[in-house]
Each structure stands twice: as structure tokens, then as C-alpha cells.
Amino acid sequence: MPEAHSIVLPELSGAADVVRHHARVRPDAVALVFQDEQITYGQLDALSSQCAQALIAAGVKPGDRVGTLARGNADFFVLWFGCLKAGACLNPVNWRLAPPEVAFILQDAGCRLAVVGADYAGMIEGLSGDLADLQARIQFEPGHAYWPGFRDWIGAHSATDPLRPVQGDDDVIQLYTSGTTGLPKGVQLTEANYAACFRSASTAWALIEPGDAVLVCMPLFHVAGANLGILGLLMGGRCIVMREVDIGLMLRLFGEHGVRHAFLAPAIINMVLQHPEQAQADLSRLDYVYYGASPISEEVLTRAQARFGSRFMQLYGLTETIGGGAYLPPESHDPALGKLRSCGVPSPGYEIRIRVDGRNAEVGEVGEIEIRSEGVMKGYWNRPDATAQSIDAEGWFRSGDAGFFDADGYLFIHDRVKDMIVSGGENIYPAEVENALMSHPSVADAAVIGVPDDRWGEAVKAIVVLRPGSDPDPESIIAHSRTLIAGYKTPKTIDFIDVLPRNPSGKVLRRELREPYWQGHERRVG
């Protein structure tokens, strides 16, 4: 079993105390680095208090959702801690989504204020007719013709901390995840969830010491990016925030900042190994590489261990479990132990069970993975039925993944209960993609599956039945779907078929469709 680790955490009454604590004990230490700017803990505390006062003056009340649509930047954390101090809930939106999807999320969350990156100001302006409730719009960067720049907007307010009382069920952040129906659902993550996350991570895997350089390269609308950032700040680290994944820049940052900790999705690890500059990159300070969110092959993992010379830790969890669940620590990454295909053992504070037909599975028996923890979400925003279907009366969350425990207590992911595709760390649901495909005039029927991809883990493939007399170019169907859904969700390839295999109730037999493409591959969830 894994060795026990522990980092001593500051006493916190709520997540906002992260910046308050370090501003008291080490105000001049660097908290955030973004491009050419450095922000100390003292500055982060003051800026976030100004942000809180600006939000309150704008009419934001406790429990309100504050939207943000932008690529990575340090002011994301100023905004997040400002929301925490004001009692508001940050609602990051995936910047890879198509405009209708962005509009749906901002409407669903009821956002009346949003802070937007300059890259997406035009999109939000174009959606004005769909976002009538969005009364205040601020741009992170200065220079918009009508919207205030973020620093100017908060700079007009006092740095007095509101010191609002905190309750355990206060929502801290709302991250959206797609559902099997294709409609995104807002995952409500609370103060109590983050307290559980902090305890678990500091005991198991997040071994960050004050002053350590932590690379935050995953998108901040993703639980992996947001969590590594706030955990790095919790432990007094120096968080190097990347605007987006740029492998060449990342390799330079490793050496320039002496990066000691990084969360890298398997697709990023693979891209690093293939990059022409990796042989000359200075990875000597990179002690810990955390990975997860999508499949990784043993071949890529063993090559990465050899090249990086780092301690690798796999993390298994879901947005609904605040990213927690199981972890595979460095000492279990010895190929001779036979655990490389495992996602490890339950993280501290997390219970995991395998259920088959209403009973707990035997060792080695495959069933659905269920997770119980104080880290499990409060629920899906405004979707009580979906919440009740996902979390039972005893607090067990149905993951939708299938797996088994071996005799040593290590969890192995066997397959997916649902048909979700994980490509480059992004969750993609076939129903949503199929809905877009079916709106093409030449498509009579369609099914979407994930197929092996050396770079992204899985790639989206569409199996299409054409209408009689139609003979469209596959690229035209792909282009059509791209106008309706995000580019990463659109099929990368299309195969044509005369009829889709279905069971007697009409459900598409996706396993039959996947089988030819996965022969010789292990289909896993990372």
C-alpha cells in the first residue's frame, strides 16, 4: 500500500482564508506568476478584497453566480478569491465551446455579471440577445470600447476585506459537465467540499512546500486546473499560470522557474515526449508529475518516467467528486509491481465500492464504481432529479465508470458504464454530437464512438447512415457539426454504414461499433 505523507495546513474557516493566511505570514512571497507579472500574497489578498467590494457594489449577492470566459491568467484567482470574500460563486465557462453552448451555461447559471477575456468579448457581444440577464460585463484586459478593464474596475474600490461569515454548504465554484442527454449540468462544489479536498490532497499527493514552483497549465474551467492552482496557493507555492498549453513555452518554463510540481494530462505528456525541444529542456527540478483525466498507455508512461526522472502520481476522480477518488503514488509506478494500469487506492477521506446488481462486488469482479466522501458535490445546479439519480440516500455517487479491485486493494478501470468519450482530458457525450450530426440534411442516422488516438487518448468517430440519394463529402458533415458544437467535440473521422446495430428496444449497440477499432488496445479511463 502507499506510504503515508502529510503537509501541515494552515487553520482555515473557509477557502478565502488561503490568501488571508499567507498575506499575514509571508506577504512578500510570490503567489502567482503570469507572463511578465508577479503577484505577491499580500497583493493577492488586497486585490481580491477590492474585487469583493466591486462585486458587492455591482449588486452581486451571496450565492449569485459570477461568470468568467477567458484563457488562463493570474486575475482568474483574484476574481475567484474576490467571489469567495463576497459570498458569490465563480462560474467558469469552457472557452472551447461554441457560442450557443456558452449562452446556455451563462443563462442556466443565472449570471448577471461576467468577466471576459478579450478573445471572447466579440462572442459575448454577439450573444447579447440571448443574455438579457447579463447586466455587467468586464474585460480582464484593458482597452474595450465600453467595458471596464478588470484591474481598473476593482481599483476604484477599497481593499477592505468584507470578512463575510462562511457556511459549509456555501458554493465555491460551479463547473459544468455534459450529461448523457447532451445538456451541460452545473456541478456545485462547496466550502465543505474544498475542506475535504484540502485534507485529502495534503495527506496523499499534493506535497507542495512554501515557495515551490507549481505549473498551472490545465484550463481553469477544468477541475484539474482550478484545483492545482488553489492547492498550490493553499500550501504557499509559487503558481506559474499558463494562458494555454504551449509545449515549447512549457519546456522553457520548467527550467526558468525551476518548476517542481505540474499536472499534465496524458495527451500533454505525450506531446512533451514528441517535441523537438524536449531533449534540451531542463527538467531537473521537476519532482512531481500528477496525471489523469484521460487514458494513458503504459508505453507513454514508462517513457515519460525515464525522460522526466520525476515521481509520477496518477489521480482518478470526477468533477462531481472535486477531482478526488483514487491515487497511484510514485512507489506503485514500478512496472514490476503490475500496478501501472491501476488508478491506485482510495484517497484519504474517500470510500470507493464496486456495485453489481445492488450488491458489493467480489475481488476482481467488474461493476460500477461508486464514491462516497465529503468531497462529493452538493448536487447539480437546479437539477434535483439528476442529482437524485447520481447520489443515493447514503451519499454514494454513481461514477458511470466500471472497474474492479484487485486482491491488494488497487482499483482498475475496466470500461465505461456510460458512453462518454474522453479526448485530451475533455469529456464528450455521443448524444450531443449525434444531435448536431442529425441536423445535416444528408444524415439519416448517426452514432458516435471513441476510437484509439495516440495523441489524445481517444478521438471522436461518427458512424453515419446517409439518406437515399445523398453522397456528401465527410468533411462537409464535420464542418456542419462544428457550427453547432465545440470543435473538440466534432468528429475527426466519419465512416458510412447501411444500418446501425440496435437492440430490441432501439438502443444503438455501441460496443459492436467500437470493437473493430479497439482490437489490440486497452480501453481505459484515466
What's residue 294's pLDDT? 66
For residues 143 and 218, membership in a common domain is answered with no
Chain mean pLDDT for the chain: 91
pLDDT of residue 418: 66
Contact criterion met (CB below 8 Å) for 142 and 154 = no
The whole-angstrom separation of Cα 176 and Cα 180 is 13
Q: Is residue 237 part of a domain?
A: yes
**Residues near 146 by beta carbon (within 8 Å), at least 6 away in sequence:** none
Lowest-confidence segment of 228-242, 370-384, 400-414 by average pLDDT:
400-414
Quickly count: other Cβ atoms within 10 Å of residue 363's Cβ.
11
Whole domain around residue 434: which residue ranges? 423-518
Task: With beta carbons less than 8 A apart as the criterion, state whether 395 and 376 touch.
Answer: yes
Q: Output the CA angle 190-59-74, nearest 5 degrees.
A: 55
Mean pLDDT of 436-454: 89
Section 189-203 average pLDDT: 96
- Final residue in a domain of this structure, among 293, 317, 341: 317
pLDDT (0 to 100) of residue 526: 40
37 and 145 inside one domain: yes
182 pLDDT above the threshold of 70: no
Higher-scoring residue by pLDDT: 69, 268: 69
Predicted local confidence at residue 345, as pLDDT: 97
Percent of the chain with pLDDT over 70: 94
> Is residue 127 assigned to a domain?
yes
pLDDT in tens, 249-267: 999 999 999 999 999 988 7
Residues 129 and 25 in one domain: yes
For residues 233 and 107, membership in a common domain is answered with: no
Distance of alpha carbon 209 from alpha carbon 26, whole angstroms: 13
Question: Is the separation of the CB atoms in 331 and 3 below 8 Å?
Answer: yes
Residues 514, 452 contacting (CB under 8 angstroms): no
Give how far the C-alpha of residue 202 lies from the chain's centroid of Cα atoms, to the nearest Å: 19
Same domain for 495 and 434: yes
Once rounded to an integer, what is the mean pLDDT over residues 479-490?
Answer: 93
Lowest mean pLDDT among 26-35, 101-110, 272-281: 272-281
Whether residues 156 and 209 fall in one domain: no
Relative to beta strand 89-92, strand 457-466 is unpaired
| Domain assignment present for 44 | yes
Do 28 and 145 fall within a single domain? yes
Q: Do residue 155 and residue 34 come from a single domain?
A: yes
Confidence of residue 11 (pLDDT cuts 50, 70, 90): confident
For the chain, how many structural domains are there in total?
Answer: 3
Last-in-domain residue among 130, 160, 190: 160
Predicted confidence (pLDDT) at residue 516 exceeds the cutoff of 80? yes
Strands (E), 204-341: 213-216, 238-241, 259-263, 288-292, 311-317, 325-328
Is residue 4 scored above 80 in pLDDT? no
**Are 211 and 134 in the same domain?**
no
36-45, 306-315, 431-440: least confidently modelled range: 431-440
Domain assignment of residue 427, yes or no: yes
Maximal CA-CA distance, the chain: 73
Residue 397 predicted with pLDDT over 90:
yes
Query: Is 177 a member of any domain?
Result: no
**Three-class SS of residue 524?**
coil
List pLDDT tens digits, range 353-367: 999 999 999 999 988
pLDDT digits (tens, 9 = 90+) for 75-130: 999 999 999 999 999 999 999 899 999 999 999 999 999 999 999 999 999 998 89
CATH number of the domain where residue 49 is located:
3.40.50.980
- pLDDT category of residue 246 using cuts at 50, 70 and 90: very high
Residue 240 grid cell: 506559474
**Mean pLDDT, residues 191-207:** 94
Who wins on pLDDT, 42 or 469?
42
Boundary (domain end) residue, out of 288, 317, 346: 317
Which pLDDT does position 299 carry in this prediction?
77
**Does residue 87 sit within a domain?**
yes
Q: How many C-beta atoms surround the C-beta of residue 303 within 10 A? A: 14
Position 489 in a domain: yes
pLDDT at 295: 61
Q: Residue 47 — very low, low, confident or very high, per pLDDT cuts 50/70/90? A: very high
Q: Is the pLDDT of residue 5 over 70?
A: no
Whether the per-residue pLDDT at 510 is higher than 70: the answer is: yes
Distance of CA 462 to the CA centre of its chain: 25
Contact 113, 66 (CB under 8 A): yes
Q: Cβ(148)–Cβ(115) under 8 Å?
A: no
Helix (H) or strand (E) holding 190: strand 185-190
Residues 132 and 213 placed together within one structural domain of the fold = no
String of b and e for 180-207 (b: at least 16 CB within 10 Å)? eebebbbbbbbbbbbbbbbbbbbbbbbb
Higher pLDDT, 503 or 94: 94
Q: Flag whether pLDDT at 524 surpasses 80.
A: no
CA–CA dist 152, 174 (Å, integer): 26
CA distances from 412 to 339, 426, 515 (A): 9, 21, 20
Amino acid making up residue 200: S
| pLDDT class of 270 with cuts at 50, 70, 90 | confident
Query: In the structure, what pLDDT confidence band is assigned to residue 505 with cuts at 50, 70 and 90?
Result: very low
Same domain, 154 and 25: yes
Rounded to whole angstroms, the Cα distance separating 304 from 443 reads 42
Above 90 in pLDDT, residue 303? no
Instruction: Using alpha carbons, select from 328, 312, 229, 207 the residue that is nearest to residue 19.
Output: 229
pLDDT digits (tens, 9 = 90+) for 326-354: 999 999 999 999 998 899 999 999 999 99
Task: Give the whole-angstrom CA distance, residue 415 versus residue 401.
Answer: 6
In a domain, 82, yes or no: yes
Question: Given pLDDT bands bounded at 50, 70 and 90, which one contains residue 525?
Answer: very low
- 24/101 same-domain check: yes
* CATH number where 448 lies: 3.30.300.30
